[in-house]
Amino acid sequence: MKTNLGHLSYCSNIHPGEIWAQHFAELQKNVPMVKAQVSPNQSMGLGLRIANQASIDLQDPKEFNSLKTWLAQENLYVFTLNGFPFGGFHDTIVKDQVHAPDWTSQERYDYTLRLAHILAHLLPETEQEGSISTSPISYKYWWDSPAKLDDATKKGTLALLALVLALAELEKSTGKWIHIDIEPEPDGILENHREFVDWYENVYVPLGTEFLKERGMEGQEALLRRHVQLCFDICHYGVSFDKPAACIQELVDKQIPVGKIQISSALRVDLREDPITHIEALRKYHEPVYLHQVKALGKDGTYIQYRDLDEAIADFKPDRDDEWRVHFHVPLFLENYGLLGSTQQEIRETITIQLAQAFTRHLEIETYTWGVLPAEFQVPMDQSISREIQFIQGLLKN
């Protein structure tokens, strides 16, 4: 829905369906109930997760027009898409395959451009800007040497630069400005704030400037910042122990645009007292579907990173660490989960900054782990989503 600080929505990756008919059925079942609870008297924004096959299905004018008709009937509008997961995201083992295919592949480029065209034609007439979040180029551990990692980074960057030209042409033909928002994620090639900023300044912009020059487009460097931006995922920033205020200030100072905030929360484990009991409480969060990377803050101020939760638990030493952060998108409105905490404070800090001086126009709630949460935290889906939205609506009014 529209707020004084931009558009607010939740991401439909919470709903299953890799083909459009299945996903659309889930939307039709759940979204009207959510809207009745959080936005009964005004249009509600919707952040769609459209899988690759669903994006192909929506090339059928009948399917696409059916979606547009339903949006109008339900007083809904779309302003952002989640283009990170390409294929299966529910009822399958996802793990590192959430990155596949990555930005070194033609499939990722084709999929993202297809999403851009879909979004350009879904945006309301009154809205010119649309955002699409995407993978941080690739999964770091697929590349077994620094040289291969550098090659993958360059190849992925060049694919994004080719997409910039396509998005510029799309804007000329439709009047709709679509930006692709890179989402740093633990163990991605760009896994945290520092790596994203360094890539943007030292790889993307220099390579992009040369890319445009070779095509006779000198003086058009503004296109680079217009069409490739940052997806500020608060959960991921929390897992990396990145401080929202300092990071956002650096982005503002360096004129690196934030395309959208993904409002999400990670698990926080305080190990300063009774660490063994806390780790026992954490065991129930190990599950086989998603990667749950861990970053451990040692008592000596150093960090250790783990690719998944079971690896971290196996290496646990009672007197070594002060705190763990776990990549597990827990519900926003709870600050504590029994003995375990969350990075809800990072959400509050980020929203406070947005309230003081808005640094983006798109806000998307992204809690997708309801199906793998411990049973005591599960309630009917529409209630789960509504509580998330109402919690953020309350923060935005402060």
311 within domain boundaries: no
Query: Which residues pair with residue 11 across a beta bridge?
Result: 47
CB-based contact 342:334 (threshold 8 Å): yes
209 within domain boundaries: yes
CB-based contact 370:14 (threshold 8 Å): yes
7 within domain boundaries: yes
In terms of C-beta density within 10 A (0-12 exposed, 13-18 middle, 19 or more buried), how is residue 130 classed?
Answer: buried
330 within domain boundaries: no
Q: What's residue 380's pLDDT?
A: 74
Instruction: Specify the number of domains making up the chain.
Output: 1
38 within domain boundaries: yes
How would you write the chain as a 3-class SS string? Answer: CEECCEEEEEEHHHCCCCCHHHHHHHHHHHHHHHHHHHCCCCCEEEEEECCHHHHHHCCCHHHHHHHHHHHHHCCEEEEEEECCCCCCCCCCCCHHHHHCCCCCCHHHHHHHHHHHHHHHHHCCCCCCEEEEEECCCCEHHHCCCHHHHHHHHHHHHHHHHHHHHHHHHHHHHHCCEEEEEECCCCCECCCCHHHHHHHHHHHHHHHHHHHHHHCCCCCCCHHHHHHEEEEEEHHHHHHCCCCHHHHHHHHHHCCCCEEEEEECEEEEEECCCCHHHHHHHHHHHCCCCCCCCEEEEECCCCEEEECCHHHHHHCCCCCCEEEEEEEEEECCCCCEECCEEECHHHHHHHHHHHHHCCCCCEEEECCCCHHHCCHHHCCCHHHHHHHHHHHHHHHHCC
246 within domain boundaries: yes
Query: What span, in angstroms and rounded, lies between the C-alpha atoms of 49 and 343?
Result: 24
281 within domain boundaries: no
Mean pLDDT per 10-residue run, the chain (398 residues)? Answer: 88 89 95 94 95 96 98 97 83 76 97 98 96 97 96 98 98 98 97 98 97 93 97 97 97 97 95 96 88 96 96 95 94 86 95 95 82 64 86 87
Q: What's residue 369's pLDDT?
A: 60
pTM value > 0.75: yes
Q: Which structural domain range is residue 195 located in? A: 2-265+338-396
CA 146 vs CA 140, 150, 154, 239: distances in Å: 10, 6, 12, 24
177 within domain boundaries: yes
Q: What's residue 371's pLDDT?
A: 57
Query: What span, in angstroms and rounded, lies between the C-alpha atoms of 76 and 20?
Result: 18
> Which amino acid is located at 60 in the chain?
D
Residues contacting residue 96 through CB under 8 Å, at least 6 positions apart: 139, 141, 142, 187, 291
Query: What span, in angstroms and rounded, lies between the C-alpha atoms of 329 and 312?
Result: 17
Q: What's residue 398's pLDDT?
A: 63
CB-based contact 117:64 (threshold 8 Å): no
In this structure, the dihedral spanned by the alpha carbons of residues 281, 284, 288 and 293, taken in order and rounded to 10 degrees, is -20
What b/e readout covers 8-47, taking b as 16+ CB neighbours within 10 angstroms? Answer: bbbbbbbbbbbebebbbebbeebbbebbeebbeeebbbbb
Helices 106-122 and 61-73: crossing angle in degrees, nearest 10, is 50
Task: Identify the CATH number of the domain in which residue 350 sits.
Answer: 3.20.20.150
